[in-house]
Chains A and B, each alone.
Chain A
């Protein structure tokens, strides 16, 4: 498509903004009816978490861009190594786990010649 004129902005507004914010508004209306201690909220929490987990799985198993051609074992190895550092990381476990996973990936990419 052409990126000139007003059309791209209309395209972004309808196919981007409206397509996304409709669901956010639906979430507000649904969330307004849910009691904070109810079993329904537990289910909604579980579905929301599983959705985000599925996005994570896709990023790890089917990455786009540079990582698309990287070996799967390297990406999985990075996640496992990061997880081990995370669970033994104590107070700084988050930053430690993330740094370990990225360092593992970077080293692997360098060795395999990405």
Chain B
């Protein structure tokens, strides 16, 4: 037992399966509870279950789907619906842009990243930012694909299964299901933060999210994100430079 052997490089399948196992994690379970709530919402709105499953797979991001359903119910023109949904989804761009440098290696083809980017939504993003550091770089794309694809497929099936069963919850249950999402996001972002700027952005984003929801409700998320994020980055960098200068 003297010779030290380098650890056997794991196959892509190994990392994919490890990502799949993330379906049994706290974030995945909380997201699935949110989708139970979403199934109840669409069942109440009388949108056919096949269409609900279709949009779960195609759109994936929960806030975008809630807006899409709202547009369908109000009979909005397809162009108006497109604008409303696309404004709510602008946040995908910086989220994906922050994730890509963490998971790709020099040989990862762009087409593969374009495909797996579809599985980015808040839960998968938070989960990936938290866990991807524990995976060697060559396995990260497979790890994320395993988690993201499994989570999406599981929720498509879940929505189909529970749609008929949950026409209406007792108010306390649906209220608690709804509240799980923000509380879970808060704890996850705090735990997964590896840079001080994340705490700053979280605090300023929460405050500005409220402020802009009151004064500019149509663009609140976008304004709070860009302005809040920039202020947080600028302030944190200023402090960092001051600390370095001393």
Which residues of A approach B to under 8 Å, CB–CB? Answer: 1, 3, 8-9, 11-32, 34-36, 39, 41-67, 70, 75, 78-79, 82-83, 86, 93-95, 97-98, 101-102, 105-106, 109-110, 114
Contact = CB atoms under 8 A, between A and B. Distances in A.
Contact of B197 (A46, A52, A95): A46
B117 A25 contact: yes
A53 B224 contact: yes
Contacts of B229: 43, 46-51
Interface stretch (B4-12, B75-83, B154-162): B75-83
Main secondary structure of the interface of A (DSSP, over half): helix
The contact size tier of chain B is 35 or more
Given A14-B78, A27-B95, A109-B172, A19 B118 contact: no
Nearest to B229: A47
Nearest to A15: B81
A12 B59 contact: yes
Contact of B172 (A3, A46, A82, A110): A110
Contact of A25 (B114, B184, B225): B114
B224 to A, nearest CB: 4
B96 A57 contact: no
A93 to B, nearest CB: 7
B221 A41 contact: no
B120 to A, nearest CB: 6
B167 interface: no
A15 B71 contact: yes
Interface centre among B65, B184, B222, B229 (most CB of A within 10 A): B229
Cβ-closest 4 pairs across A and B: A27-B96, A53-B205, A31-B100, A57-B209
B230 to A, nearest CB: 7
Nearest to A29: B110
